[in-house]
Amino acid sequence: MTKILFVCHGNICRSPMARFIMENLVKKAGVEEQIKVDSAATSTEEIGNPIYPPARRKLAEHGISCQGHAARQMKKSDYAHYDLLIGMDQANLRNMTRICGGDPEGKIHLLMDYTDRPGQVADPWYTGDFETTYRDVLEGCQGLLNVLREET
């Protein structure tokens, strides 16, 4: 079983979008017993809040539910619990590494590193462009799933 934690700043836009998109892809691929996913924040700003309404609407446009999401902050113990910790941008990676006390096992990665165009997923909280974020997150999740399926 591969356990993945998607991480962004507040856990109300990018990382929950990644979680629910990946869950959808995993279900369609029939590998729910092999891959489990969750999401978290590096900050405390949104703890307990649901997914941000424009992000929820964007997922709903694609038939993806995000029911029951409540933002939570990443904990140091997540490093031992998860096989991969996937951040959305460089600031996330810095904060994830700080929270975990380093990355001795090489578990911390950027989502877009699983695509043909490595880089960062722009934060739609600031850009207002939830469509581009959706497309980037989908592409990253598809790439990650392909890598995981090649490894099995």
Strand bridging mode 2-8 / 35-41 = parallel
- Cα dihedral value 37, 145, 117, 55, nearest 10: -40
The residue from 8, 13, 66, 141 that is catalytic is 8
The residue from 38, 89, 123, 136 that is catalytic is 123
| Burial (0-12, 13-18, 19+ Cβ within 10 Å), 51 | buried
Tokens 């959808």 locate to 24
Q: Catalytic annotation on 98?
A: no
The residue from 14, 19, 56, 78 that is catalytic is 14
Q: What are phi and psi of 109, to 5 degrees?
A: -140, 165
3-state secondary structure (DSSP) of residue 36: strand
How many whole angstroms from its chain centre is CA 118?
A: 15
Q: Catalytic annotation on 123?
A: yes
Amino acid at 69: H
Q: Which two tokens stand for residue 86?
A: 């996937």
Q: Catalytic annotation on 14?
A: yes
A 10 A CB-CB count for 62 gives: 11
Enzyme catalytic residues:
8, 14, 123
